[in-house]
Each structure stands twice: as C-alpha cells, then as structure tokens.
Chain A
Amino acid sequence: VKLLLLRVALAVQCVIGAWALARPHGEEPASDAPKERLLAWVDANVPRDAASLLLVGGDEPFFFRASSRLYPRTVIWLSPQDERWGTPLPREPGEWQRLIQRTSARFAFTEGVDPATIPAPGGVVAIDAARGEHLATLR
C-alpha cells in the first residue's frame, strides 16, 4: 500500500510539474543589449587605471552591471534618489569638489542627467542607456 501511495504521489507531482512547465513563465524582461554596448564603450575608452568612475543617474541593476563589467575600476553610483547602494547626488559645486577629492574620480558616465552639470576633471561620457547611444564626451 505504501508503495502504491508513493507511486500515486510521484505521478501527481510529475503531472503538475509538466503542466506548470508547459505554461509560459512570466514575461521575458527586455534585453540588456543597449546597456551592454554602452558599458563596452566605457570599458574601451576610459583607462583601466582610472581608479574610480562616477555613475550619475541610472538604476540599481545598471549600477551592479557597470560595477561588474568595468572591473578593475571602482564604480561609485550617484543617485538622485536615496538608494541603498548609492551615494547622494551632489547638489552644489562645493559638494562635487569634496566628492571628487574623496573618490579621486576623474571620469563619469551618465544616464538621464545633463552631462554639462557634471564636473568630472578627466571627462564625462554621456550616454542614453535606454537606446545605447553615445551622446557626448566632454573634456
């Protein structure tokens, strides 16, 4: 009897499992290809010995990906929102100066923030991450 019960339970599990797996499992998220292209551009154009890079704007997954993709550079995420892994976005020139001194950052790249407002001493790579387009490099 125990073996019969076991076989029934296993068969029910198989049927439910096969049915669940045959159903669509949510929507596939949009491709990250445009963001990957822009990270590849930053990787190719910003020196690897640039100790820190400022990511201005963007979202959390983009920051995680940038931090991974741009190793050995350290990516510091400046977020207009109060994000857990982010640093508050400076609001005035004095704050920018202190941040740049503290992080030794020479370069910045941005999504959704006007690059002219970012005073990185080495240059700012401004990219529309949603479309993966390189907008401007300011020196």
Chain B
Amino acid sequence: VSDVHVRLSVGGESYALPVENVLEVAELGDLATVPGAGGAVLGVCNLRGQVLPVFDLARVFGIAGATVPARLLVAEHDGRRVGLAIEDVTDVGTLPAVEEATDSEFLVGAALDDGHLVGVVDVGRVFAALEREARP
C-alpha cells in the first residue's frame, strides 16, 4: 500500500482517497436516474459498456451541497465499483502525515497541508455507507 493519495474537492471541502482505490476520473456525463433508490444515488451511467452506479459524495458526507459536481471519480473497493460525483480532482501525490483526529465515521483522520485541512477517506466505511444509502 502506497501513501499516494488522490486529492479532490467535494462540497467545497478537501478530501483525499488512497490512489489504489481510484480507477479513473472522467467528466460527469449523462445519467439515468434510478427511481426508488436512495437520495444519494444520482443514477447509473454507461462506463464503456458497464452499468456504473453513481453516488453524490457530498450528500453521503452530509455536506449541505452548495456546489454542483462536475466530475466522476470511479472508485473500487472489495471488487465493487462505483462512480462518485465530485467537483474536481486537485492533485495526486503523497500526503503529509495524518495528524488531526476526527469524529467523522468516513475519515481515517485529517492531514494539515499548507494550512488547509484534508479529510483522509476511509474507503471501506464509505462503501458501507453507500450500501445503506443505495436503499430508499
């Protein structure tokens, strides 16, 4: 496991995901909504012939979303693949050590980078939350 992380902005805040969980980043294109699914499910999209569920990451994190997601981050964990709608990817690289503890269930902790707080995402927990959020 490397300590290289993909840095992204979600709901105006900064987060980081381990690079090995990130498959690709693309434009957030057309989605088919899935009526009956939970509110965090934006829909499904066609990723080169595969049907990919897309979640609103800001909503999963509970950030009152003032911003509109424009990019799609394809994440994988435990053989399961999802699209996460985010504002943008800001950087890929090593992260300063995690110093700040947080009480968020989705974060391993937070790192202080150049005076900014970066939430380091616990991918397993986020996927478990997605599973809950998928239902109405």
Bound pair (A, B): no
Residues of A within 8 A of B (CB): none
